[in-house]
Structure 1
């Protein structure tokens, strides 16, 4: 009977993790849209058509859609009701709404903005489900599920503007170390917090050396990201650190090679490296959690 329960519980845990990932992933595109700006630009506070972004937490939480733009589109589809519209039919060049003439050409350019919400939500759900399958009911799963949406957000931002903001990388490292330290006090965990700490310092230091040797090939944002990745991978030991790091460089190299072969980039073209570091860390984490 115990064996049957053990085989069923991870399935329910995986479903719950996927639901959590999907819900968290729905909120990623808005944050990515606001943060994905050039270094000298302020974070976005308006939709592409200039409407102020509103919502919870000062407009940070919510779906990547503009209610004002949506209302505009609904108005365009509303039947004529203004005085003096007799004889006009839908399809005319303009229409009257609230005393102002609106024409279809004035429609907002973006009802939804930022990266595709369904794709991001699906990716986050899949990532969380994989972590649940690999980790099982061990307490560190809670840490992985909390950090996974942040990793997806970092990957999306880096792909869009090729930068990893401090507001994301440094909290990732801090949260990883603090939360894993708490999990080390919970029974039945499968990792070691001292190795997570040393993994963070060693991997961050190694990336810093690479940055000093070749600043054009390794951004300082990647160095800060390595602090969090080293902590996560170090939880399961040095073998996991090496595996996750190697996988990240492998993924990045294959992506760059593919661009060169398709003649979409040259050998000196810069690519966003953060998403591949995160993907490599994810693979290393899955294998480390499964083998622990």
Structure 2
């Protein structure tokens, strides 16, 4: 009976992890929109039409929708509707400046901006589900599930503007080490905190050397991201650090090769490397967790 319960338990963990990832993924597009700015800017404070972003935690938490824009659109459609034709708008008559991306329909409820919420939510849900399948009911799973949405957010921002903000990469490293230190005190964990610490320092140092050798090929944001990745991979040992690091370079190289073959990039074209570092770390973490 105990064996049967154990065989079912990971399934429930996977379902719960997927639901957590889907819920957390709904909040990623708003943050991604706000962080996807040029390096000399901090973050966006207004929607594409200029309304101040409001909501929980200073406008950071919530869906990527602007109710003020929705109200403007409703007002515009009402004022432009012909007599006897209330509620119906044809052609461009009901559009207002900056209307791209608004929810279609005669009675919109929101203005959407940033990356597609369903796609990001699905990606975050799948990421969390995979971590639950690989890790099982071990305590470090809680750490992976907390860090996964942050990793998705970093990947989205880097893909959009080739930038890894310090306010995300450095807290990722610190949070990973602190949480893993707590998990090291919990029974049934399968990793080692000292290796996580040394993995963070070694991988961060190695990427820093690469940055010094070739600043055009390795951004300093990648160096700071490597601190968090090294901590996560180091939890399961040096073999996992090597595997996750190699996978990141492999994924990035394959992506660049595909772009060249499609004639969408040349040898000197800059590509975002952070998403591939994160993808490689994810692959290494899955294998390390499953083998632990």
Common fold, TM-score beyond 0.5?
A: yes
Structure 1 contact 13–132 (Cα < 8 Å) conserved = yes
The alpha carbon displacement at 1:108 in A equals 11
Partner Cα distance (2:25, 2:101) in 1: 39
Per the normalisation by structure 1, the TM-score is 0.90
Partner Cα distance (2:59, 2:133) in 1: 34
Structure 1 contact 22–122 (Cα < 8 Å) conserved = yes
The alpha carbon displacement at 1:78 in A equals 4.8
With 36-45 and 94-103 compared, the bigger mean Cα shift is at 94-103
Structure 2 contact 191–237 (Cα < 8 Å) conserved = yes
Aligned residues: 292
Structure 1 contact 22–121 (Cα < 8 Å) conserved = yes
Which structure has the larger Rg over C-alpha atoms?
1
The alpha carbon displacement at 1:69 in A equals 1.5
Structure 1 contact 95–103 (Cα < 8 Å) conserved = no
Structure 1 contact 162–272 (Cα < 8 Å) conserved = yes
Partner Cα distance (1:102, 1:62) in 2: 17
Q: For the structure 1 residues 83 and 100, does the alpha-carbon distance in structure 2 shift closer, same or farther, using more than 3 Å as the test? A: farther
With 164-173 and 68-77 compared, the bigger mean Cα shift is at 68-77
Partner Cα distance (1:245, 1:100) in 2: 40
Aligned partner of residue 102 in structure 1, secondary structure? coil
The alpha carbon displacement at 1:5 in A equals 0.3
With 3-12 and 98-107 compared, the bigger mean Cα shift is at 98-107
Structure 1 contact 96–102 (Cα < 8 Å) conserved = no
The alpha carbon displacement at 1:42 in A equals 3.5
Partner Cα distance (1:96, 1:208) in 2: 48
User: CA offsets per residue over residues 28-72 of structure 1, 9 Å max, x none?
Assistant: 000010011111123111110111111000000000011112223
User: CA offsets per residue over residues 162-186 of structure 1, 9 Å max, x none?
Assistant: 0111000000000000000000000
Q: For the structure 1 residues 116 and 92, does the alpha-carbon distance in structure 2 shift closer, same or farther, using more than 3 Å as the test? A: closer
Q: Which runs of 5+ in 2 are unaligned?
A: none
Structure 1 contact 14–133 (Cα < 8 Å) conserved = yes
Structure 1 contact 181–193 (Cα < 8 Å) conserved = yes
Q: Does 1:244 align with 2:244?
A: yes
Partner residue in 1 for 2:172:
172
User: What root-mean-square deviation, in Å, do the aligned CA atoms of Structure 1 and Structure 2 show?
Assistant: 4.3
Structure 1 contact 49–110 (Cα < 8 Å) conserved = no
Partner residue in 1 for 2:23:
23
Q: For the structure 1 residues 98 and 128, does the alpha-carbon distance in structure 2 shift closer, same or farther, using more than 3 Å as the test? A: closer
With 256-265 and 39-48 compared, the bigger mean Cα shift is at 39-48
Q: For the structure 1 residues 98 and 19, does the alpha-carbon distance in structure 2 shift closer, same or farther, using more than 3 Å as the test? A: closer
Structure 1 contact 80–96 (Cα < 8 Å) conserved = no
Structure 2 contact 249–276 (Cα < 8 Å) conserved = yes
The alpha carbon displacement at 1:230 in A equals 0.3
Per the normalisation by structure 2, the TM-score is 0.90
With 68-77 and 254-263 compared, the bigger mean Cα shift is at 68-77
Q: For the structure 1 residues 12 and 47, does the alpha-carbon distance in structure 2 shift closer, same or farther, using more than 3 Å as the test? A: same
Q: For the structure 1 residues 201 and 258, does the alpha-carbon distance in structure 2 shift closer, same or farther, using more than 3 Å as the test? A: same
The alpha carbon displacement at 1:270 in A equals 0.7
